[in-house]
Structure 1
Amino acid sequence: MSAPVDAVVIGRNEGARLIACLASLQGQVQRIIYVDSGSTDGSAAAARQAGADVVALDMGQPFTAARARNAGLARTRAPFVQFVDGDCVVQPGWIAAAQGHLEADVDLAVVCGRRRETAPEASVYNRLCDIEWDTPIGSARACGGDAMMRRAAIVAVGGYTEDLIAGEEPDLCLRLRAAGWGIWRLDAEMTRHDANITRISEWWRRTRRAGYAYAEGAARHGAPPERHWVAELRRALIWGLGLPVLILLAALIWWPAVVLLLIYPAQVIRLARRGGDWGWATFTVLGKFAEAGGALRYYIRRARRSRAQLIEYK
């Protein structure tokens, strides 16, 4: 018989999306643990009614998704744990496929699949998320928030790093790989995610959070051999900060130097020709400014030795 699976769902004020998430897990897992992070929309009560074991985080302590995942993990007992964000719906057949793969390969700690956006056509920002989720099949360096994991392996490396406000999954996967475990991306439908990003301000905050994660990840694990997020951070700082400052300084000395700003549309053209998507290319270049801002936020916070504040985009 197959080993049982517990599910850990985290969320805050997800409303109908949470109900759909919990319903998609019914009958597929042994137990559902829902970790609520200060919801005011009745999510905790709705989850109890749906049969979930509800954990209410103490919001007197700084909240992070990593802290919520660890709180759920502490309630699990099954050898495999399916982590799911509360705005996602698990696809039919995924639990059995992931469970079977973990049972067949005892060297794997994590199995993930294809996360898709529910409505990529609703906004360019949703479509960008859908592109982001389309990662290569096979051996992987990291997973996202939705993944099935071998409980013993996660516990052995200390679980998620709770003070990370973003990038907690790559951080966990890095430590798992260092301990000799593998991460695998299956060619299978895993979850449907509802980003529901309709405004550029929401996309900007989400991208700025990524820049913060790049800076913190590089600070923690940027040394060889991992060089964790060093390349991503370098690109953000060069394109989003270094080049604009240099061009501005050059223009103050000799105003025709502003023509150097054409390097940005040229980069958009280069990326679009390579990737075949003008929207993705445009926002990839624009996003470097947001990422640089997020990295600066991390460096300022570290210099001041202040507590990290969550960067929410919705």
Structure 2
Amino acid sequence: MAERPDLAVVVIGFRAPAELVAAVRSVLDQNIRLEIVVVNTGGGNAKALLADCGIDVRVIDVEERLLAGAARNRGIVATQAPFVAFLADDCLAHPGWAEARLQRHREGIPAVASAISNSHPRNLVACAAHLVTYMRRLPGLPAEKAQRYGVSFDRTLFERYGVFDERMRSGEDTEFLARLPEALRPVWEPRVLTIHRNETSLFKLLADQYRRGRRYGVYLGSIDAEKSVRPFRKVFRDRRNVGKLAKEGLSGKERTFARLSLPIVWIALFAKSLGASVGARYGDKTGRRR
């Protein structure tokens, strides 16, 4: 019998987008055996989409839309490997992504965080999108400046501390990580590199950042009834840090293009800040006030 894989990868899709194919292929192309399951929610036929491209992996298609926490939990229950990682349908696993994770887990690390790279490093809009969203997950950052997300987990953590909150529109990973004792918090491992497919249209970038900001504002409103102006300032003050982080976290031409994109970054940060203010004041899409 073939040896059971040590790492399960849960690929999360929404409405079976075409991009799901590349996301799954990037996991299949890793140089080690993996347990792979696709959790697709909100409709669409991910199984047929992947089969048409010659991809045979386990697929869980759910007609209703599940929030991220619920989709993650479906994947946890559907897999057995001792370690569990997650990949969104708008991301790709860089070569070595799985092997570097497993190396750290086998060293006894229960939670391993990943860095993010830009899919279009010479497109100024994509560079701006990348910096606004992932300025604290750039691969060149030292551990003390890096945010610990994109985490893979020892499965026993879910048994001891529960699973992801299925009611949260965003921040379900933040909420779960807050439950862990300090000694079990994620370790920064920039060799685990996830490629994010960033927006290349300015209009789509601003709309996306507004939506992200609004979700973040809803999350802030749920944990602390801040005045609406405070979430705006909390987000917009990153304009002071982004150039420094880009200089430290990137190199070569990628750093050059990132710095050229800074005027777009500031506009996008304003859109995200406005969304955060609205989200904190008015709550989720049902219109309920916090």
Instruction: Give yes or no for TM over 0.5.
Output: yes
What does residue range 81-120 of structure 1 map to in structure 2 within 5 Å?
Answer: 81-104=84-107, 106=108, 108-120=109-121
The Cα offsets for residues 235-288 of structure 1, whole Å up to 9 and x where unpaired, read as 424589xxxxxxxxxxxxxxxxxxxxxxx9xx8996788776333234323432
Structure 1 residues 217 and 183: alpha-carbon distance in aligned structure 2, compared to 1, 3 A threshold: farther
Aligned residue in 2 for 1:291: 276
What does residue range 160-175 of structure 1 map to in structure 2 within 5 Å?
Answer: 160-175=164-179
Larger radius of gyration: 1
Aligned residue in 1 for 2:207: 204
Cα distance in 2 for residues equivalent to 1:269 and 1:212: 20
Considering Cα pairs closer than 8 Å and 6+ residues apart, tell me whether 1 or 2 has the greater RCO. 2
* Cα RMSD, aligned residues only: 3.6
Query: Which deviates the most, 78-87 or 293-302?
Result: 293-302
Please give the TM-score of this superposition, normalised by the length of structure 2.
0.75
Aligned residue in 1 for 2:162: 158
Cα distance in 2 for residues equivalent to 1:56 and 1:273: 42
Aligned residue in 1 for 2:128: 128
Shift, 1:38, TM fit: 2.9
* 2:263 corresponds to 1:278: yes
Aligned length: 264
Shift, 1:208, TM fit: 3.6
Structure 2: unaligned runs, 5 residues or longer: 246-258
Structure 1: unaligned runs, 5 residues or longer: 224-229, 241-263, 306-314
What does residue range 164-203 of structure 1 map to in structure 2 within 5 Å?
Answer: 164-177=168-181, 180-196=183-199, 198-200=201-203, 203=206
8 Å Cα contact 1:12/1:43 also seen in 2: no
Name which of 6, 9, 33 aligns with 2:8.
Answer: 6
Structure 1 residues 270 and 140: alpha-carbon distance in aligned structure 2, compared to 1, 3 A threshold: closer
Structure 1 residues 181 and 43: alpha-carbon distance in aligned structure 2, compared to 1, 3 A threshold: same
2:198 is paired with a residue of what secondary structure?
Answer: coil
The Cα offsets for residues 174-218 of structure 1, whole Å up to 9 and x where unpaired, read as 11246x412112122512111335243553344343343344246
Please give the TM-score of this superposition, normalised by the length of structure 1.
0.70
